[in-house]
Structure 1
Amino acid sequence: MKIKEILSILEEMAPLAYAEDFDNVGLLVGDNEAKATGVLVCHDALEAVIDEAINKEYNLVVCFHPILFSGIKKITGKNYVERAILKAIKNDIAIYAVHTALDNHQHGVNKIFCDALDLVNTKVLIPKQNFIQKLVTYTIPENVEKLRNALFDAGAGQIGNYEDCSFNSKGIGTYMGNENSNPEIGERFEFVEAEEIKIEVTFEKHLQSKILKALFKNHVYEEAAYEIYNVENVHQNIGLGMTGELKTEMSEIDFLKMVKEKMLCGGIRHTEFLNKPIKKVAVLGGSGAFAIKNAIQAEADIYLTADLKYHNFYEAESKIVLADIGHFESERFTKNYIVDYLTKKIANFADSLSLDKIILSEINTNPVKYL
């Protein structure tokens, strides 16, 4: 397989359009036309991981955190970022990062977090805004089914747990073609009144070009009338963080002991216990201080995240237990998910990469150590 074929699978797993605007995801270094010799999956693409890829003769490193995050003007090897990039370039190793593209996915980082704690009834904590658009178009009754199905196939009509969603209404369309027209109904310069069906469907905004391609290809009219609107509805299945529920409520201390054991935490910093049982849990892998208010509004009993500063703990306001379990720890099983996903998908390719060439890095890239 070429590297670009593997990247297309990764983009199915975590569409780059799902990433936050501040992020730097996708192919960071390398030639996507090169033949893949192996995939090494890691949390952070540090120099030691690049060395591991070199030793194993793997030329694609898939990392969770982007090693190139903010602007960089020189690559001279003066710091850990530049050394990793230089070594990757010198050895023809591609680096691909998923980060918030997978954070925001309903089956991504925070679902993995919830699953590790055996939580049920999971929902996105902060649904993504400004991500939904609506297409309105008009066609003759004979074209409705073909056109509508083509729009569905292109990704339109997905609402929550439902697909193929649309609204259709009858009306009368009018038009008159000029000397350059080729009307489906009527003649040039003829005023036409035709029965038409109005089709309305919503879609994720990054699919707009695909939706329009399906519209133009499957519409019978020479000129397809359509409008696209930005919709203010939040996308309930995409967004940061997640809430879930324990099957059986637990005491605060017993719950945190369970979290420490299952997430392999070196330690957990937390606010004062409220002496209430834990039933509803909010989680956000990585730095999650910004979502404390969201966890409180969701009426969670406890919020698990990382990188909380001293004053963030005051924000609990005796309404919730806040627990900082560690940045790496809160995301630690993400790389396992990536390996499993790639292995299952690539197994379907007849001429594919050997499945034993998709592996987890042996390097522990967690920079935080505990006594």
Structure 2
Amino acid sequence: MKLNDIIKIIEASYPLYIQEPYDNSGLIIGDKEANINGILIALDLNNDVIKEAIKNNCNLIITHHPFIFNNIKKLEAGDELFDKLNLIFKNEINVYSSHTPMDKSFNGINIALAERLNLKNIQILYPENNLLCKLVTFCPLNYADKVRESLFNAGAGVIGNYDCCSYNVQGLGSFRAGDDTNPFVGKKGEIHYEPETRIETIFPKWLTNDIISALLYSHPYEEVAYDIYQLENTHPKVGLGAVGNLNNEMEVYDFLTFVKDIFKLPTLRYSYVENIKKIHKVALCSGSGADILPIAINQKADAYLTADIKYHDFQKAHNKILLLDIGHYESEIIFVEKMYDYLSKKIPNFAIQKSENSYSFINFF
């Protein structure tokens, strides 16, 4: 299987378009035309993971964290990065990372964490806007079904948990074909009036090229009239974090114990709360999510789980919300399982493995 085909499968659910500006997700090292023998999935790219891939004949490693994040100013033998790159190039290994696209997708890490906590009514905590567009086009009445079906198959018409969404109204279109044309209806040099259907539908911005291609392929006209509008709507399925409700309220101490057991934590840092008696609404964000602590507070969550929390973050949460630091590794190691399950369903009977060398770099005494 070609690497490019695997990338398309990954980015169908975790598009690079939604990654954060600071991120470096995507193909880090590789040849899109390479034939892939096997895939190894890991949280980070360390030397043990690379050696594991070589041993298991996996020439594609997929990680959550991009191992090249900032500009490289120099490479010298003996440096950690040089040694990694040397090992990768010598063994013709391809490396792909899905970092914030996996964090922000509704099929990604944060929703998986919420499900692990058995939360109900799960939603994105901080959904993103300006990611949606509207397409308006016009076609002959008896071609409307074909055009709509083509657009829907390309990914248009999805609103929340509904698909095949469109608005349609009939009207009369006019045009005059020029000398160098081959009109589907009407005659050259004459104004023609054609009963048409106006089709409006919504689509995510990163699918623009696919949507236009589907429209042009299915539409009978030589020149297809269409408009694309940028929408300010919030995308309910893309954004940071997740929020949901516990089936039953829990005492603070019971909830702390529950979280500690779920994530197998040797210790758990949390904020002081005096006025929160029960935990019902829970918000979370994998990795370093202190920046959206105010969002969790504004949404009146009783508890907020994230990682890399600083002293002053706990201060901001004091007596407002139960803030828990569950650890960066502990909040993101679920990536390996999530990506493995996703790819195993999309490409069954393919050699996909979960790395045995994804580990935390933090120890506890």
Fold similarity call, TM over 0.5: yes
Maintained 8 Å contact 2:184/2:221: yes
Are residues 1:51 and 2:51 paired?
Answer: yes
Letter in 2 for 1:134: K
Name 2:170's counterpart in structure 1. 170
Instruction: Identify the residue that residue 138 of structure 1 maps to in structure 2.
Output: 138
- DSSP 3-state at the match of 1:65: coil
What displacement does 1:133 show? 0.7
> Aligned partners of 1:325 and 1:171: how far apart in 2?
58
The range that moved more, 63-72 or 309-318, is: 309-318
Aligned residue pairs total 364
| Alignment pair present for 1:22 and 2:22 | yes
Flag the 1:307–1:82 CA change in 2: closer, same or farther, 3 A: farther
> Partners in 1 of 2:115 and 2:354 — Cα distance?
20
Residue 74 of structure 1 and its aligned partner are, at CA, apart by 2.8
Contact 2:49–2:358, Cα closer than 8 Å, also in 1? no
Of residues 297-306 and 259-268 in structure 1, the stretch that sits farther from structure 2 once superposed is 259-268
- Structure 2: segments with no counterpart, 5+ residues: none
Q: Could you say if the C-alpha distance between residues 61 and 279 of structure 1 is closer, same or farther in structure 2, counting changes exceeding 3 Å?
A: same
- Do the aligned partners of 2:38 and 2:59 also contact (CA within 8 Å) in 1? yes
Letter in 2 for 1:251: E
SS at match of 2:42: strand
Other structure's SS at 1:213 match: helix
2:363 is matched with 369
Equivalent position amino acid for 1:245 in 2: N
Of the structure 1 ranges 274-283 and 224-233, higher mean CA displacement relative to structure 2 is found in 274-283
Counterpart in the other structure of 2:225 = 225
CA contact (8 A) 2:271 2:318 kept: no
Matching residue of 1:279: 280
Q: Within the alignment, does 1:321 sit opposite 2:322 as a pair? A: yes
- Work out the percentage of aligned pairs sharing the same amino acid: 40
Is contact 1:116-1:263 (8 Å) kept?
no
Q: Is the 8 A contact 2:297 2:321 kept in 1?
A: yes
Q: Aligned residue for 2:198?
A: 198
Is contact 1:46-1:81 (8 Å) kept? no
- 2:260 corresponds to which residue? 260
2:202 aligned with 1:208, yes or no? no
How much does 1:317 deviate? 5.0
In the other structure, the counterpart of 2:3 is: 3
What amino acid is aligned across from residue 279 of structure 1 in structure 2?
H
Aligned equivalent of 1:298: 299
Note the C-alpha offset of 1:35.
Answer: 2.9
**Distance change (3 Å), C-alpha of 1:160 and 1:250:** same
CA contact (8 A) 1:29 1:85 kept: no
CA distance in 2, matches of 1:172, 1:185: 13
The answer as to whether partners of 1:284 and 1:304 remain within 8 angstroms in 2 is yes
Letter in 2 for 1:337: K
CA-to-partner distance for each residue in 1:255-303, whole Å, 9 max, x for gaps? 1111111112232211102342000100100010111111112211010
TM-score by length of 2: 0.94
Q: Which residue of 2 aligns with 1:334?
A: 335
Offset at 1:79? 4.4
Contact map agreement 2:273 2:318 (CA 8 A) in 1? no
Q: Which is worse superposed, 71-80 or 208-217? A: 71-80
Match of 1:288 in 2: 289
Q: Give the drift of 1:305.
A: 0.4
What amino acid sits opposite 1:278 in the alignment? Answer: I
Following the alignment from structure 1 to structure 2, what is the Cα–Cα distance between the partners of residues 358 and 52? 13
Shift of 1:13: 4.1
Letter in 1 for 2:10: L
Task: Give yes or no for contact 1:30–1:89 (8 Å, CA) kept in 2.
Answer: no
Over the aligned positions, Cα root-mean-square deviation in angstroms equals 1.7
| Letter of the structure 1 residue corresponding to residue 162 of structure 2 | Y
Q: In structure 2, what residue type is equivalent to 1:104?
A: K
Q: Distance in 1 between matches of 2:313 and 2:97?
A: 29
The amino acid that maps onto 2:99 is: H
Which deviates more from structure 2 when the two are superposed, residues 58-67 or residues 335-344?
Answer: 335-344
Q: What stretches of structure 1 of length at least 5 have no aligned partner?
A: none
CA contact (8 A) 1:27 1:96 kept: yes
Quick one: structure 1 residues 187 and 115, their matched pair in 2 at CA, closer, same or farther if it must change by over 3 Å? same
Q: Residue in 1 aligned with 2:33?
A: 33
Q: Aligned equivalents of 1:184 and 1:59: distance in 2?
A: 50
Farther-moved stretch of structure 1 (266-275 vs 282-291):
266-275
* Preserved CA contact (<8 Å) 1:53 1:59: yes
Partner amino acid, structure 1, of 2:12 = E
Residue 170 (structure 1) shift:
2.1
Shifted more, 105-114 versus 19-28: the winner is 19-28
